Amino acid sequence: MATFNDFGLDQQIIRAISDMGFEEATPIQAQTIPTAISGKDLVGQAQTGTGKTAAFGIPLIEKANTNDPDIQSVILTPTRELAVQIAEELNKIGNFKGVKALPIYGGQDISRQMRALKQRPQIIVATPGRFMDHMRRKTIRLQSISIVVLDEADEMLNMGFVEDIETILAEVPESRQTLLFSATMPKRIQALAQKFLREPEFITVKAKEMTVENIEQQYMELAEKQKFDALCRMLDIHTPELAIVFGRTKRRVDELSEALLKRGYIAEGIHGDLNQAKRDSVIRKFKESTIEVLVATDVAARGIDVSGVTHVYNFDIPQDPESYVHRIGRTGRAGKTGLALMFVTPREIDHLKSIEKMTNRKITRINVPTFAEAIEGQQRLTIDKLLETVEEKEYLAYKNSAEQLLEEIDSVTLVAAALKMLVKEPNTTPVKITGEAPLRVKKAHFDGKKGGGGGNYRGGGSGGGRDRDRDRNRGGGGGGGSRPRKEGEGRPPRNNAERSFKKRNRNKTSQ
Ligand SMILES: Nc1ncnc2c1ncn2[C@@H]1O[C@H](COP(=O)(O)OP(=O)(O)OP(=O)(O)O)[C@@H](O)[C@H]1O
Ligand SMILES: [Mg+2]
């Protein structure tokens, strides 16, 4: 295993990294840091949670010149949350060297961003739309930029940012170095790399499986109607520290978070329709553990690194195997363990098989838990808490009452009654969850083999509710006639099943 001393890094960077608690470089870091420092273009692929941010962050900071007042590198990333998270990590790495990274994203006051730019950051971490705005206003000059990083490039493509990326890259001097990173590398990313990178080195951390071994993977076959109760029971059984529940659409996320709250879980939802302040506060509360269950769409949680996420629940099966890899990768990060459970309706079993094939890993089937099993989980938790209280000696004020009670009632009866009071029995408060049709994408599409029309295997069956967290404040007229239609933007229904499903949904939501 390589230590960070092996790369000949600036001592101030070494000190910062060691303050962050990193002891050894992860495999992707060990392979990419020297290559990136040497100036080569590269495509880096490694499993989720294995430190890709520092893999490009360290070379960027190593190469940054703090005497040069200009922007030297830019990182493009699909969402605002990721821009903030990456900038935070880079600011830690660059702390002693004095290298500053500034996040720039849509939804944030542009004049405030302009003031922040005057602080002369060496690195900008931006969503493509807002970056384009600054380019047009000339508040960011690209002439001085020598390194461009594309993080989660496939997601940026999915979100329709490809033209923006092309425009940005066309304006950055050609002598630049370009680095591209993702946990998954669908074919179109390789095509993008061929187009924009110069003789890139492909660095893939060879792993037997797409997903890290420390995530236990399970699925449960059940009917759509059973899903919510099953989720609640599993939450009671697992008692996760922090959990993320993935839903397919924004409406799904709203309904699920509301329903979970009703049943007594501290849950909140996050998706692209929420304003920036709200999204920031949800993520902050989740990081502080004020929220226990984060309900999210794919896009909202992409790349998000919150330590302490012990469980991921795929309430709806993801649209494609790549999304599965990214979703469950929110747990089991930086070597920790995690559990991922997916709900699969009988008609979605083929999709499950595609996921297993792509990730090269078998997902274990488990049964829908009974009411009794759910109580058992809660009982275990209560007993643990009770034993903790005994150890911490926090009960002394209650000793007198206990002695009095024991004079009348035998100890076993008394403790059992106390446990019954303490155990949270499964809550069955009625909730409203609109039914979703099973995921129905032609199998060939799902496997990533392009079928006849469309050429894009994502996006089927979502009932028009595809979640696209694209920057809202995109510059320029987005509606130019030549612009290809973006996903989810008025795509005609693909088949009859989908059409009737849409209609059904409309009826339901308008109730
Ligand atoms: N060398 C290291 N030693 C210990 N922890 C590390 C090391 N490098 C990174 N980490 C930590 O591991 C966590 C995951 O890192 P990061 O978010 O960069 O993963 P990623 O590979 O980008 O994942 P994803 O594919 O989900 O975006 C972070 O909390 C990060 O601080
Ligand atoms: Mg990442």
Residue ranges of the chain with per-residue pLDDT less than 70: 441-511
Element (H, E) at 181: strand 177-182
Using the structure block, give the residue that is written with the tokens 């399970």: 218
Structure tokens at 190: 């390789």
Ligand 1 atom nearest 182 alpha carbon = 25
99 lines ligand 1 (CB under 6 A): no
Ligand 1 contact via 333 beta carbon (within 6 Å): yes
Ligand 1 pocket residue status of 157, Cβ below 6 Å: no
12-68 confidence digits (pLDDT tens): 999 999 999 999 999 999 999 999 999 999 999 999 999 999 999 999 999 999 999
Residue pair 491/459 in contact (Cβ under 8 Å)? The answer is yes
Q: Does the ipTM surpass 0.85?
A: yes
- As a three-state string, the secondary structure of 303-323 is CCCCCCEEEEEECCCCCCHHH
Q: Quote the strand ranges of 89-164, DSSP E.
A: 101-104, 123-126, 147-151
* Ligand 1 atom at shortest distance from the alpha carbon of 26: 1
Rounded distance between C-alpha atoms, residue 88 and residue 426, angstroms: 40
The DSSP code for 4 is G
332, 209 contact by CB (below 8 A): no
Q: What pLDDT is attached to residue 392? A: 86
Model pTM?
0.81
Question: In the prediction, which pLDDT does 288 show?
Answer: 95
Measured from the Cα of 329, ligand 1's closest atom is 26
Ranges assigned E (strand) in 73-138: 73-76, 101-104, 123-126
CA-to-CA distance for 60 and 99, rounded, in angstroms?
10
Domains and CATH numbers, the chain: 4-207 (3.40.50.300), 210-371 (3.40.50.300), 373-422 (no CATH)
- Two tokens, residue 440: 């129905």
With a 6 Å cutoff on the Cβ, whether 439 touches ligand 1 is no
Give the CA distances from residue 233 to residues 256, 280, 381, in Å, rounded to whole numbers and listed in that order.
14, 29, 14
Report pLDDT digits (tens) over 372-392.
888 887 888 888 888 888 888
Residue with CA closest to ligand 1 atom 3:
22
Is the CB of residue 151 below 6 angstroms from any atom belonging to ligand 1? no
Closest CA to 506 of 459, 465, 466: 465
Taking only the tens place, the pLDDT of each residue in 258-313 is: 999 999 999 999 998 998 889 989 999 999 999 999 999 998 888 899 999 999 99
Write out the DSSP string of 391-420.
HHT--GGGHHHHHHHHHHS-HHHHHHHHHH
Kindly give the distance from the C-alpha atom of residue 303 to the centroid of ligand 1, in angstroms, as a whole number: 10
Residue nearest to atom 9 of ligand 1 (CA): 51
Span from the CA of 281 to the centroid of ligand 2 (angstroms) = 21
Closest-CA residue to 386 (of 402, 369, 410)? 402
| Residue 441, pLDDT score | 61
Ligand 1 nearest-atom number relative to CA 48: 25
Ligand nearest to the CA of residue 57, numbered in listed order: 1
CA 98/CA 101 separation, integer angstroms:
10
Across all residues in the chain, what is the average pLDDT? Answer: 85
Structure token digits, residue 451:
């079928």
Q: What percent of the chain has pLDDT over 70?
A: 86
